[in-house]
Amino acid sequence: MSTTSEENYIKAIFKLSHELKTEATTSSIAEHMATKASSVTDMVQKLADKHLVNYIKYQGVTLTPKGEKAAIKMVRKHRLWELFLYQKLGFKWNEIHEIAEELEHIKSDVLIERLDKFLNYPQKDPHGDPIPDRKGHFPENKSFKLSQLSKGVKGIVVGVNDKSSVFLAYLDKVGIQLGTELEIIDCNEFDNSLDIKVNDSKLIHLSYQAIQNILMIEK
Amino acid sequence: MSTTSEENYIKAIFKLSHELKTEATTSSIAEHMATKASSVTDMVQKLADKHLVNYIKYQGVTLTPKGEKAAIKMVRKHRLWELFLYQKLGFKWNEIHEIAEELEHIKSDVLIERLDKFLNYPQKDPHGDPIPDRKGHFPENKSFKLSQLSKGVKGIVVGVNDKSSVFLAYLDKVGIQLGTELEIIDCNEFDNSLDIKVNDSKLIHLSYQAIQNILMIEK
DNA sequence: TAATATAATTAGGCGCGCCTAAAATTTTTA
DNA sequence: TAAAAATTTTAGGCGCGCCTAATTATATTA
């Protein structure tokens, strides 16, 4: 059995090495979790004893297959709860993360399978992120950044990279959500910002930082 | 902010003094929570510092208004989650308690109000227990024990006192759930057991222990 | 009411997850 | 490649919630 704290470390290591494609070093984990390097060393040794991570002193950490499986299960739980909060309880997409961070630690395995069924075996969470299935398989996600689209092209918003509350609330403000159609009207080379038509009507302007964090498929 | 452990103590004290109408003494709390008396003393002192209980050394514990409010909120959360598990996720009434014990500690206040709305502001949980509203008011519950009904009378099952998994599974087995109609066919004086007709068809026999734990209204 | 039994509290210890400060190791740079 | 800088680990400490054992207070009974 794992504690909440252990689960959070496993999640952080998974996120660093898989999603952010960085090294899971003692300091990167500490920074990611807003804790101290010495705390990370303590926990990483504990996780190594439980065969959840491979750990050699002074040389960073990787997840074992067992740790990987545990991490993916946490991702599955988090995203299913997020979808529940969004779809069934009517929360906005910038309000769900914190609550899901708590819900994901509820222990019951049946619960998560029943929730999956209740939500109709969904493939995407409210931020467009893929939900791994019971076996840990991720559905294919063939999106690319809005910043990679060129002038004149139309696309559909299918996800976001930045899930912070401020960014999501900003997208709400300018009228962008999952499924929104965007057309690239112009590309401003000096700062790489875009002029964009939203759903064939409103014209907006998005900074490079913004368009790097919006995921699209071509229409 | 309260910890999970503090919340569990508050719940136990509430249950002992209100539902079971007993004294909340150090030893009764310890027994109820399967812990040691010394642990209870520690925690009770902590709760007293937080003004959640009134505590005088060697003289038991009562909840302050603040503690009472906190306890009722826990009851509300527990019962709403139980109903969610039962009604939306299809769990049986003997499978929901343990999971709700975890879910009730999720912090968000909005969450619980959204859940209440999602479930349509219910008044009863799957065991027939009243769900206090947002203000902490309990809906009236004018039921009585099946053991108090007399021969020939018909009634409807509206609740249970014993929420243990074994008892609830037993009721399932003999065909009793909330809403089931029971008719007292005969009362066996030597052991106070009852012969009962279930939903105008099947005849069953229930021990005194069983009929003390089934709550009814007259039909 | 004094002796005894029971209940409650205190003292001190333990594991967990965190911390700071010091030591060890690796990496960078002169 | 030797010194300096950065990173990581270790040592030791702290609060929480729990424990056992010893002490203190209350309740019971002779």
Domains of chain A: 4-63 (1.10.10.10), 144-218 (2.30.30.90)
pLDDT on residue B201: 87
Whole-angstrom Cα distance, residue A80 to residue A73? 11
pLDDT on residue B61: 95
Mean pLDDT of B91-114: 97
Q: Do A90 and B115 touch (CB under 8 A)?
A: no
pLDDT on residue B80: 98
Whole-angstrom Cα distance, residue A98 to residue A114? 22
Nucleotide nearest B41, from its CA to each C1':
C9
- Asked if B149 and B165 touch (Cβ cutoff 8 Å), the reply is no
Whole-angstrom Cα distance, residue A51 to residue B34? 32
Q: CA separation (Å) from A15 to A32, B112, B184? A: 9, 30, 62
Predicted confidence (pLDDT) per residue in B34-89, tens digit: 999 999 999 999 999 999 999 999 998 999 999 999 999 999 999 999 999 999 99
Predicted confidence (pLDDT) per residue in A147-185, tens digit: 988 888 899 998 999 989 999 999 999 999 988 999 999
Strand C interface, protein residues by Cβ within 7 Å: A 3, 5-6, 35-36, 38-39, 42-43, 46, 58; B 25-27, 37-38, 40-42, 44-45, 55, 57-60
ipTM: 0.84
Residues in Cβ contact with B115 at an 8 Å cutoff, skipping those fewer than 6 apart: A89, B80, B81, B84
Low-confidence stretches of chain A (pLDDT beneath 50): none
Q: Do A111 and B90 touch (CB under 8 A)?
A: no
Q: Is the pLDDT of residue B1 over 80?
A: no
Predicted confidence (pLDDT) per residue in B109-148, tens digit: 999 999 999 999 999 999 989 999 999 999 988 888 999 8
CB-defined contacts A:B, below 8 A? 41
Predicted confidence (pLDDT) per residue in A128-141, tens digit: 899 999 999 999 88
Q: What share of chain B in percent tops pLDDT 70?
A: 100
Nucleotide nearest A36, from its CA to each C1':
C19
User: Which residue, among B96, B101, B105, B111, would best test binding to A if mutated, counting the most A CBs under 10 Å from its CB?
Assistant: B111
pLDDT on residue B74: 97
pLDDT confidence band for B97 (50 / 70 / 90): very high
